């Protein structure tokens, strides 16, 4: 390191100041004599050496931070690039940046879902409409109008020929999703905002949940309400049938998750570990059973917890995974900084994906119970997330009025 004459003089003065301010007088005198520096040291060199010293350390820390960020970005680029490091589809997770950001809704997006067969998705919004988009091209296809207030939830039957929607206008609508895209039935019966709707696996019945504290089952063919499940003490936020249709799970503002026997309408279990409103639930697919058992610490005796399993997301910022047969909370996923609004299992069973009011999308490694990836998804609260069962896509909806399509690799 070669210093210029001037730099050398300045460094000498700074050293002289350091020696004098610390009272190393003998050393100072000797140093002054050797460095040929007569007179007093000017004020501007006061504490200069310490200042430089601390700023070097600070900058070094900053450099290290930036280097680690860079290496992470490089790794993301290499790992995530479609050409390199082939992962099996079971390992695919959404990667930033989004493939499409779709605008068109005039109010917050409340729900996004994939069509089970075609490459389209549907979004619902507080603007009282449903919009259909092609998720492979990002093209807008059509708008379904009919509700008179915020559309809260939407769902397809297994064939994708029927779409059901529910709304704050207290109605549930069935739409023909084959030819006409028109509303074929409107079902009334709830006394308040209908917050959730879902098809039974057979497709002959629809279940709905409402702020009137009840869950209702409707016959698709006639539009009649055939069952009412009562028991929640507050607004019921979401209702979902188990994969075989024998059970129905619901979650509520009363901070509980309830599991009902479809046939008898009785409440089988009440799951009460959350400390706030439970916003969302998802049944675990068969592929997730082994991973959930490992996470729960079951010594791999064949299926120590037989299941079925349910995940729930809450305003207490956590996600809990439950064994419904015993009513026990197996484990908890903490990491979101705000309400958890959507939760969905990865079709491969290894991961859980969640959307939150902290504006992020998070991918959780079920087996290790840790957050393995966080995507800064939206400019405002994320309200909904869906994972395509067979294609490598995830979609999210947000209060920022956009729908985003994320590619997985």
401 and 129 Cβ atoms separated by less than 8 Å:
no
Q: Quote the pLDDT of residue 13.
A: 86
Average pLDDT, the chain: 92
**For the segment 147-175, what is each residue's pLDDT rounded down to a tens digit?**
999 999 999 999 999 999 999 999 999 99
Percentage of residues in the chain with pLDDT exceeding 90?
77
Q: Quote the pLDDT of residue 371.
A: 95
- Measured CA to CA, the distance from residue 248 to residue 243 in angstroms comes to 9
Work out the number of other CB atoms within 10 angstroms of the CB of residue 154.
Answer: 25
371 and 360 Cβ atoms separated by less than 8 Å:
no
Whether 206 shows a pLDDT value over 70: the answer reads yes
Q: Quote the pLDDT of residue 138.
A: 95
- Measured CA to CA, the distance from residue 152 to residue 186 in angstroms comes to 15
Q: Quote the pLDDT of residue 79.
A: 66
Confidence band of 300 (pLDDT split at 50, 70, 90)? low
Q: Quote the pLDDT of residue 75.
A: 79
**For the segment 323-350, what is each residue's pLDDT rounded down to a tens digit?**
999 999 999 999 999 999 999 999 999 9
- In whole angstroms, how far apart are CA 104 and each of 73, 111, 181, 331? 32, 14, 19, 39
Mean predicted confidence (pLDDT) in 237-249 = 97
- Measured CA to CA, the distance from residue 147 to residue 198 in angstroms comes to 17
Please list the helix, strand and coil fractions of the chain in percent, rounded to the nearest 5, in that order. Answer: 20, 40, 40
Polymer length in residues for the chain: 409
Whether cis (ω within 30° of 0) applies to the bond prior to 198 is: no
Confidence band of 230 (pLDDT split at 50, 70, 90)? very high
- Measured CA to CA, the distance from residue 79 to residue 87 in angstroms comes to 9
**For the segment 344-387, what is each residue's pLDDT rounded down to a tens digit?**
999 999 999 999 999 999 999 999 999 999 999 999 999 999 99
pTM: 0.79
Q: Quote the pLDDT of residue 91.
A: 87
Q: Quote the pLDDT of residue 89.
A: 80
Here the contacts of 49-55 (C-beta below 8 Å, separation 24 or greater) are 49/14, 49/15, 49/17, 49/18, 50/18, 52/14
Whether 15 shows a pLDDT value over 60: the answer reads yes
Mean predicted confidence (pLDDT) in 182-211 = 97
**DSSP state letters, 123-145:** EEETTSEEEEEETTTTEEEEEEE
Mean predicted confidence (pLDDT) in 69-75 = 84
372 and 83 Cβ atoms separated by less than 8 Å:
no
């Amino acid at each position: 390191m070669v210093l210029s004459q001037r730099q050398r003089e300045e460094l000498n003065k700074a050293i002289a100041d350091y020696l004098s301010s610390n009272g190393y007088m003998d050393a100072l005198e000797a140093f002054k004599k050797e460095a040929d520096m007569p007179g007093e040291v000017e004020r501007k060199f006061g504490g200069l050496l310490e200042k430089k010293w601390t700023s070097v350390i600070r900058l070094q820390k900053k450099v290290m931070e930036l280097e680690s960020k860079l290496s992470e970005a490089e790794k993301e680029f290499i790992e995530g690039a479609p050409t390199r490091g082939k992962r099996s589809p079971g390992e695919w997770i959404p990667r930033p940046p989004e493939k499409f950001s779709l605008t068109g809704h005039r109010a917050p997006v409340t729900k996004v879902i994939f069509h089970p067969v075609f490459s389209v998705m549907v979004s619902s919004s507080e603007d009282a409409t449903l919009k259909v988009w092609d998720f492979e091209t990002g093209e807008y296809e059509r708008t379904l109008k009919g509700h008179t207030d915020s559309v809260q939830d939407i769902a397809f039957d297994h064939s994708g020929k029927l779409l059901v929607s529910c709304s704050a206008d207290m109605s549930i609508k069935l739409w023909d999703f084959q030819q006409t895209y028109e509303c074929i039935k409107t079902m009334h019966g709830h006394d308040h905002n209908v917050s959730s709707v879902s098809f039974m696996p057979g497709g002959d019945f629809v279940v709905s949940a409402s702020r009137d504290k009840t869950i209702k089952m409707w016959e698709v063919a006639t539009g009649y309400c055939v069952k009412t499940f009562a028991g929640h003490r507050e607004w019921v936020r979401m209702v979902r049938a188990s994969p075989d249709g024998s059970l129905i799970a619901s979650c509520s503002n009363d901070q509980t998750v309830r599991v009902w026997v479809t046939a008898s309408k009785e409440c089988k279990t009440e799951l009460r570990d959350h400390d706030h409103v439970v916003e969302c639930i998802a049944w675990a697919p068969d592929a997730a059973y082994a991973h959930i058992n490992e996470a729960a610490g079951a010594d791999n005796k064949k299926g120590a917890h037989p299941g079925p399993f349910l995940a729930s997301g809450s305003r207490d910022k956590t996600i809990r995974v439950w064994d419904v047969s015993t009513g026990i909370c197996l484990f908890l996923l903490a990491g979101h900084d705000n309400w958890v609004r959507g939760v969905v299992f990865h079709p491969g069973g290894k991961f859980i994906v969640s959307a939150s009011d902290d504006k992020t999308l998070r991918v959780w490694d079920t087996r290790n119970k840790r957050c393995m990836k966080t995507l800064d998804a939206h400019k405002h609260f994320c309200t909904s997330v869906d994972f395509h069962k067979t294609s490598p896509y995830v979609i999210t909806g947000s209060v920022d009025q956009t729908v985003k399509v994320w590619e997985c690799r």
